[in-house]
Amino acid sequence: MTCQHCQELLTDYQHGELDAASDAAIYAHLESCAQCREELAAQSALSQVLRATFASELEMPTSVLAGVRQAVRRERAPGLIEALRALLRPVVLAPTAAAIVLAVGVVSYVHGTNSAPQLSADYFVQQHVAHTMDSQSGDRAWNAYLLTSNPDATANAPAH
Amino acid sequence: MLPRTDRAFFFLLTLATLLVLPGAALAAQDGRSLYAQAVGADDHVSYSGTLTSVVYEGDRAASTVARIEHKEPNSWRIWYLAPADAYGRMIVSNESLTYQYEPSLSKVFSHDWSQTAPGVAEPVNIAQVETNYSFEVGPATSLAGRHATSLSLVSKHTGGLVQRIWVDDDTSLILRRETYTVDGSVAAESSFDSIRIGVDLPDGLFKLAVPNGMTLVASPSVGKSTTDTAQLVRSLDFKFAAPKYLPDGFTLLRGSVASRSGVNTVEFVYGDGLRTFSLFENATGKLPLFDRATPKPIAIGQADGVYADVAGQTLVSWNAGGLNLTIVGDLSTKEIATIGASIHP
């Protein structure tokens, strides 16, 4: 670790906000670097002065408070990439994907069945009669009547 | 050595057997012969007459009255007098191509029956009828002013009377026909009110022509029949499920695929020589709409289905495995339900 790197992290070190590895690295560097120890001592003295000066609780101006809150919200609001990264975390992605797959399946099933046209009972009977005109179970006049009823409903193409 | 009385008994029994069996065989042969002559009679006889047909649908009945002119062997002209929605409709057919004249629509609809029911112009398969039905000659009677003999067709499997026809003694034309439900009631009947036989009808009467002011239109969209049912099954975009049970005597005759409103429906026709039924399957998973009948619930195996009498046919429909399955035919709902329960999509 260099002295520059150490001094950049001194404030966080002083307030115990570093992770364990960085904290240990700074501690080890301070053991061997007098310059950085002096810098740490100076920052600690400044902190004590400030703490003594503002020991009594002071009301923060409203405009400052609003500005701080706004800044905090801006910092907290994730960007698009952060938002996507958050969504792609396994703990979120797995149940989300399962729900999407399930929803797509249900929608396609419902869509696939419900959107299919409903054929009429007469259509089935006409098809049956057309394919059994050679049967001996009925008479030709009745079967021909059935076959030729509702001609507009069964017509589909001009003849040649 | 048998006692004298026993010998006399066996002598009389043998004599009776010799007398009765040939008589029964002769009667059966006569019945078969009479049936064969009757179903082929219009190939040799021209006639003109008025035919009334009545179809019973539960507690209702529907009927047509038609003037029929027939020139042997295969020219037909049918002009409907009733019901009202068919009044004026005329059909001219050579048993292959059929023109349907609708004056109210100024249209002529063409139907190719030879593509859909190839047997329409072929001789009736008497052997298949004989395999499944016995012929019982009934008493002589009079119909439409002519002498006739009734002939009953009785199922060899159930013993039930399925159809009775009255055959003209002179020409063997069928003057009257009754078909019966499984419980013995009349399902449909047709009978000539009047008939003139041997009339000389001009050829021009049966000419397939489109009159001025009328438009020729192809209809309906009926699938072309094929006996290559294996190829038909392979061509489907869904998996066809075949019945594992068929009533005694029924065999698969042919199949077809028809498209309606974008729905491909496969149809397989089964028959026993006299009765037929069609099994339809498509991937809609939707029961049909019933316009003319009120469907009633029926269980088809584990599935909930509906059934109704439509135009003299029993229709049963249910959904299973994402498919809609519908059976139409002149079978009872019980028979159809048994067939349906053997289909597992």
What is the C-alpha separation between A63 and B44, in angstroms, rounded?
112
**Structure-token pair, residue A123:** 């259509």
Q: What is the pLDDT of residue A60?
A: 54
Structure tokens at B237: 């975009």
Burial (CB count within 10 angstroms: exposed 0-12, middle 13-18, buried 19+), residue A128:
buried
CB count within 10 Å of CB B142 equals: 11
ipTM score for this prediction: 0.87
CB contact under 8 A, A145 and B64: yes
Q: How far apart are CA B345 and CA B337, in angstroms?
A: 15
CA distance linking residue B338 with residue B247, whole number of Å? 9
Contact B154, B275 (CB under 8 A): no
Q: Nearest CB to B91: which of A128, A129, A148?
A: A148
Which sign does the torsion angle of CA B319, B324, B325, B326 carry? positive
Using CA coordinates, name the residue in chain A closest to B191: A139
Please provide the size of chain B in residues.
Answer: 345
B-chain residues near A122 (CB < 8 A): 291-292, 310-311
For B38, name the nearest residue in chain A, comparing CA atoms only.
A136
To the nearest whole angstrom, how far is the Cα of B21 from the nearest Cα of chain A? 30
Q: Which residue of B has its CA nearest to A117?
A: B261
Residue B294 near residue B284, CB atoms below 8 Å:
no
pLDDT confidence of residue A5: 84
Contact A136 B124 (CB under 8 A): yes
Which 8-state DSSP code applies to residue B43? Answer: G
The answer, yes or no, to whether residue A1 has pLDDT greater than 50, is yes
CA-based angle B258:B261:B263, to the nearest 5?
Answer: 55
Per DSSP, B39 falls in state H
Low-confidence ranges of chain B (pLDDT < 70): 1-29, 119-121, 220
At how many degrees (to 10) do helices A121-131 and A140-148 cross?
Answer: 140
A101 phi and psi angles, rounded to 5 deg = -60, -45
- Domain spans in chain B, listed from the N-terminal domain onward: 39-218, 229-341
Q: Taking residues A24-50, report their average pLDDT.
A: 80
Please say whether the beta carbons of A50 and A58 come within 8 A: no
Contact A137 B113 (CB under 8 A): no
Q: Above 90 in pLDDT, residue A102?
A: no
Shortest alpha-carbon distance between residue A97 and chain B (Å): 26
Angle between helices A20-32 and A34-53 (to 10 degrees): 110
- Computed over every residue of chain A, the mean pLDDT equals 69
Measured distance CA(A12)–CA(A7) in Å, rounded: 10
- Identify the residue whose tokens are 């902190």: A47
What is the reported pLDDT for B166?
97
Q: What's the confidence (pLDDT) of residue A158?
A: 30
Angle between helical axes of A90-114 and A80-87 (0-180°, round to 10): 80
Q: Which residues of B touch A144 (CB under 8 A)?
A: 78, 91, 93, 98
- In angstroms, the CA A31 to CA B129 distance is 111
The yes or no reply on domain B229-341 and CATH 3.30.200.100 is yes
Distance in angstroms (rounded) separating the CA atoms of residues B312 and A139: 12
CA-nearest residue of chain B to A144?
B91
Task: Give the model's pLDDT for residue A12.
Answer: 80
Report the pLDDT value the prediction gives residue B175, as an integer from 0 to 100.
97
**Closest residue of chain B to A134, computed from CA coordinates:** B120
Burial class (CB in 10 A: 0-12, 13-18, 19+), A82: exposed
Strands (E), chain B: 47-57, 60-71, 75-82, 90-93, 97-102, 107-112, 133-143, 146-155, 161-168, 174-180, 186-197, 215-218, 251-260, 263-271, 276-282, 296-300, 303-310, 313-320, 323-329
Neighbours of B117 (CB within 10 A): 24
pLDDT of residue A62: 47
Q: Confidence class of residue A153 from pLDDT cuts 50, 70 and 90?
A: very low
Phi-psi region of B189 (alpha: psi -120 to 50; beta: other; left: phi over 0): beta
Q: Which domains does chain A have, with CATH numbers?
A: 3-57 (1.10.10), 121-153 (no CATH)
- Return the exposure string of B221-258: e unless at least 16 CB atoms fall within 10 Å of the residue's CB, then b: bbbebeeebeebeeeeeeebbebeebbebbeebbbbbb
Task: Judge whether B146 is closer than 8 Å to chain A, CB to CB.
Answer: no
- Write the pLDDT tens digit of every residue in B173-205: 999 999 999 888 999 999 999 999 999 999 999
* pLDDT tens column, B35-73: 999 999 999 999 999 999 999 887 789 999 999 999 999
Q: Does B163 touch chain A (CB under 8 A)?
A: yes
Task: Check if the beta carbon of residue B87 is closer than 8 Å to that of residue B102.
Answer: no
Q: Is B99 exposed, middle or buried (0-12, 13-18, 19+ CB in 10 A)?
A: buried
> Does residue A56 register a pLDDT over 90?
no
Q: What is the pLDDT of residue A154?
A: 40
> Would you call A117 and B261 a contact, using CB atoms and an 8 Å cutoff?
yes
* Interchain contact B256–A (C-beta under 8 A): yes
Provide the 3-class DSSP secondary structure of residue B257.
strand
CATH topology of domain B39-218: outer membrane lipoprotein receptor (LolB), chain A (2.50.20)
Cβ distance B217 to A151 less than 8 Å, yes or no, reads yes
Query: Which of A33-42, A142-151, B289-298 is least confident?
Result: A142-151
Is A120 in Cβ contact with B219 (below 8 Å)?
A: no
pLDDT at B18: 52
Sign of CA dihedral B101, B103, B108, B112: negative
DSSP state of B143: E
The secondary structure of B320-337, three-state, reads ECCEEEEEEECCCHHHHH
Query: Which pTM was predicted?
Result: 0.70
Tell me what the pLDDT averaged over chain B comes to. Answer: 89
Assigned token pair, B344: 């597992």
Nearest to A142 among B64, B225, B292 (CB): B64
Asked if the model's pLDDT at residue A91 lies above 70, the reply is: no
Residue among A119, A133, A159 minimizing CB distance to B117: A133
Residue A99 C-alpha, separation from nearest chain B C-alpha, in angstroms: 23
The predicted structure's pLDDT at residue A94:
67
Residues of A in contact with B120 (CB under 8 A): 133-134
Alpha-carbon distances of B168 from A88, A121, B154, B176, B183, rounded to whole Å: 86, 37, 20, 9, 28
Angle at A12 between CA A8 and CA A17, to 5 degrees: 145
Q: Other CB atoms closer than 10 Å to residue B183's CB: what's the count? A: 8
The answer to whether B306 contacts chain A (CB < 8 Å) is no
Q: What pLDDT does A30 receive?
A: 86
pLDDT at A77 over 70: no
Q: CB of B179 within 8 Å of any CB in chain A?
A: yes
Min Cα distance B22 → chain A (Å) is 29
**Which B residues, 28 through 57, put their C-beta within 8 Å of a C-beta on chain A?**
39, 51, 53, 55
Interface mutation vs chain A, best among B111, B292, B324, most A CBs within 10 Å: B111
Residue A135 — pLDDT band, cuts 50, 70, 90?
confident
Q: Residue B211: beta bridge partners?
A: none
Query: What is the number of other CB atoms lying within 10 angstroms of the CB of residue B165?
Result: 23
Q: What sign results for the dihedral spanned by CA atoms B3, B5, B7, B9?
A: negative
Element (H, E) at A157: strand A157-158
